Amino acid sequence: MSLSGKTTLFNSLSSNRAEAGVGVMARKSNIGMFHVPDPRLEKLALYQPTRRVVPATVELVDIPGITRGGGKEGNKFVSDIRRTDAILHVLRCFDDSTVPHPDGSVDPVRDKENIDIELQAQDLAMVEGKLSRLEKQAKSGDREAMEAVRVLERYRDHLENLQPARTLEVSRQERMYVKELDLVTSKPVLYVCNVDDQHAATGNAYVDQVRNAIEGESAGIMVVAAALEAEIAELEAEEDRQAFLDDAGLTEPGVDRLIREAFKLLQLRTFFTIGPDENRAWTIRKGMTARDAAGVIHSDLQRGFIRAEVIRYIDFVELKSEQACKEKGRFRVEGKQYVVEEGDILHIRFNV
Ligand X SMILES: Nc1nc2c(ncn2[C@@H]2O[C@H](COP(=O)(O)OP(=O)(O)O)[C@@H](O)[C@H]2O)c(=O)[nH]1
Q: Which amino acid is at 286?
A: K
Partner from ligand X, Mg ion, none binding residue 186, C-beta < 5-8 Å depending on class: none
Q: How far is residue 44's CA from residue 22's CA, in Å, rounded to a whole number?
A: 44
Closest by CA to 93, choosing from 73, 81, 107, is: 107
Residue whose CB is less far from ligand X, 149 or 193: 193
Supply the minimum distance, in Å, between the C-beta of residue 182 and ligand X. Answer: 23
The DSSP secondary structure of 146-177, one letter per residue, reads HHHHHHHHHHHHHHHTT--GGGS---HHHHTT
Order of strands, sheet of 305-312, starting from the edge strand that comes earlier in the sequence: 52-54, 278-285, 268-273, 344-350, 305-312, 332-334
Question: Which of Mg ion, ligand X, none has residue 4 at its interface (CB below 5 to 8 Å by kind)?
Answer: ligand X
Q: Minimum CB separation from ligand X for residue 7, in Å? A: 3
Tell me how far, at minimum, the Cβ of 109 lies from ligand X, in Å: 17
**CA–CA separation, 299 and 288 (whole Å):** 15
Q: Sheet harboring 189-194: ordered strands across?
A: 87-92, 189-194, 220-224
Instruction: Choose between 234 and 278: whose C-beta lies nearer to ligand X.
Output: 234
- CA nearest 168: which of 181, 157, 180? 157
Decide if residue 194 touches Mg ion (CB under 5 A).
Answer: no
- Does 7 interact with Mg ion (rule: CB under 5 A)? yes
Of the candidates 168, 192, 184, the residue with the CA atom closest to the CA atom of residue 112? 192
User: Where does this chain touch Mg ion (CB under 5 A) — which range of 3-11, 47-55, 250-258, 265-273?
Assistant: 3-11
Q: Among Mg ion, ligand X, none, what does residue 22 contact (CB within 5–8 Å per kind)?
A: ligand X
Q: Which is nearer to ligand X, 19 or 252 (CB)?
A: 19
Would you say 95 and 271 are in contact if contact means Cβ atoms under 8 Å apart? no
List, in sequence order, every residue forming a beta bridge with 289; answer none if it has no partner. 339
Q: How far is the CB of 291 from Mg ion (least distance, A)?
A: 42
Asked if 14 interacts with Mg ion (CB under 5 A), we say no
- Write down the least CB distance from residue 13 to ligand X, Å: 12
Q: Look at residue 23 and give the partner it binds from ligand X, Mg ion, none, a contact being a CB closer than 5 to 8 Å depending on partner kind.
A: none
CA 135 and chain centroid, separation:
36
Contact positions with Mg ion (CB under 5 A) in 139-168 = none
Provide, rounded to whole angstroms, the least separation between the CB of residue 66 and ligand X. Answer: 11
Shortest distance (Å) from residue 259 CB to ligand X: 17
Using the Cα atoms of residue 75, residue 230, residue 87 and residue 59 in order, give the sign of their dihedral: positive
Taking CB atoms, the residue at the shortest distance from Mg ion is 7
Q: Which residues contact 234 (CB under 8 A, 6 or more apart)?
A: none
How many other C-beta atoms are found inside a 10 Å radius of the C-beta of residue 239? 8
Which residue, 41 or 63, is less far from ligand X as judged by CB? 63
- Binding segment toward Mg ion, per CB under 5 A, in 7-15, 87-95, 301-309, 319-327: 7-15
Q: Which residues bind ligand X (CB under 6 A)?
A: 2-8, 20-22, 24, 90, 94, 96, 99, 194, 196, 225-227
Nearer to Mg ion, 23 or 329 (CB): 23
- Least distance in Å: CB of 24 to ligand X? 6
Nearest to 37 by CA among 202, 258, 243: 258
**Nearest in space to 311 (alpha carbons), one of 269, 349, 350, 347:** 347
Backbone phi, psi, residue 160, to 5°? -65, -30
Residue 80 or 174: which CB sits closer to ligand X?
A: 80
Decide which of ligand X, Mg ion, none touches 225; Cβ closer than 5 to 8 Å per partner kind.
Answer: ligand X
Q: Which residues bind to Mg ion, rule: CB under 5 A? A: 6-7
